[in-house]
Amino acid sequence: MKKRCASGMFLGSIMLLSILFGAALFAPQLTGADPREIRLEEALLGPSWQHPFGTDQLGRDVYARMLYGARVSIAVGFVAVGIATLLGVLIGSVSGYLGGWIDTVLMRFTDIMLCFPTLFLILAAIAFLGPSIFNIMAIIGLTGWMGVARLVRAEILTLKEREFVQAARVIGCSHPRIILRHLLPNAMAPVIVSATLGIGSAVLIESALSFLGIGVQPPDPSWGNILAEGKSTLGVAPWLIVIPGIAICWIVLGFNMLGEALRQRWRS
């Protein structure tokens, strides 16, 4: 029963995410409109055949902006989580394998990073570096590695006393080879699950930053800044809030379902 549930959740998540990835990848083919083009005479038009998602207060096509905004959300999610995963795997594997004072120093540094609210760190870094898509990717990644590091360390501590690791030591394998060839491949299953779930969180953070005006800057489209622009016209153009809100829920739900399906499959 659990395997059926996991399989159904996996297929459902793949379908949800495939639609979003396809929309982002083929955005120029799916819409002929320029997401930055301003047409004041077409401001706040409702959904129609010409504008499936309506227009905003500057007459820009919301459908085009949503498709191009999907590229931003997906890019931020994957790049930020990639940075966080690489850092977490590096720190966690070194800490768990070497132990001793190195483990103590790295884990205390991790604990210190965990004491600071993540959103506060991100806001402070963006205030210092300035808002841009590249800064957002780097900052989210550099402030999100701690959970992965603790997870990898726990897996390495469990695995490093196994017979296959002892055999690798006996035949003279170096420490980097043991970590890369023997330990990490056996510790990656929970890391992949954590990274999958982390993509949804990164998308939410980027959307929140763009909504606050310190993320992706107009006229470049982002689901967060589309939401921010729509709050002032909620009474007359609710689609400016509803459509990006549904899209954000969609992508977060898709990655959460995928992560949960992978967790159930590997656990069984």
Count of all residues that appear for the chain in the document: 268
- List the one residue out of 62, 60, 55 whose CA is nearest residue 37: 60
pLDDT digits (tens, 9 = 90+) for 10-20: 888 889 899 98
Res. 81 pLDDT band, cuts 50 70 90? very high
Kindly calculate the radius of gyration of the chain based on its CA atoms and give it in whole angstroms. 22
pLDDT at 152 over 90: yes
Confidence at residue 134, expressed as pLDDT on a 0 to 100 scale: 86
**Domain spans of the chain?**
2-267
Confidence at residue 42, expressed as pLDDT on a 0 to 100 scale: 87
- List the one residue out of 203, 192, 263, 257 whose CA is nearest residue 15: 257
| Mean local confidence (pLDDT), 205-213 | 88
Confidence at residue 166, expressed as pLDDT on a 0 to 100 scale: 84
pLDDT at 82 over 90: yes
Q: What are phi and psi of 23, to 5 degrees?
A: -65, -40
Classify domain 2-267 at the CATH class level.
mainly alpha
pLDDT at 213 over 60: yes
pLDDT digits (tens, 9 = 90+) for 18-67: 998 999 999 888 888 888 888 888 888 888 888 899 899 989 999 999 99
Note the Cα 62 to chain centre separation in Å: 23
Pick 132 or 205 by higher pLDDT: 205
Note the Cα 219 to chain centre separation in Å: 23
Cα 152 from Cα 19, distance rounded (Å) = 32
Q: DSSP readout, 66-77?
A: HHHHHHHHHHHH
Token pair in block for residue 261:
């399906």
pLDDT digits (tens, 9 = 90+) for 214-239: 888 888 888 998 998 888 888 888 88
- List the one residue out of 197, 203, 213, 263 whose CA is nearest residue 71: 203
Q: Where are the alpha helices (DSSP H) in 26-99?
A: 27-30, 62-98
* Other Cβ atoms closer than 10 A to 171: 6
Confidence at residue 251, expressed as pLDDT on a 0 to 100 scale: 92
- Whose structure tokens read 């056996």? 186
- Whose structure tokens read 């959103």? 119
Token pair in block for residue 95:
């800490």
- Please report, rounded to a whole number, the percentage of residues in the chain having pLDDT higher than 70: 97
| 8 Å CB contact between 262 and 190 | no
pLDDT at 158 over 80: yes
Mean pLDDT estimate for the chain: 87
Res. 4 pLDDT band, cuts 50 70 90? low
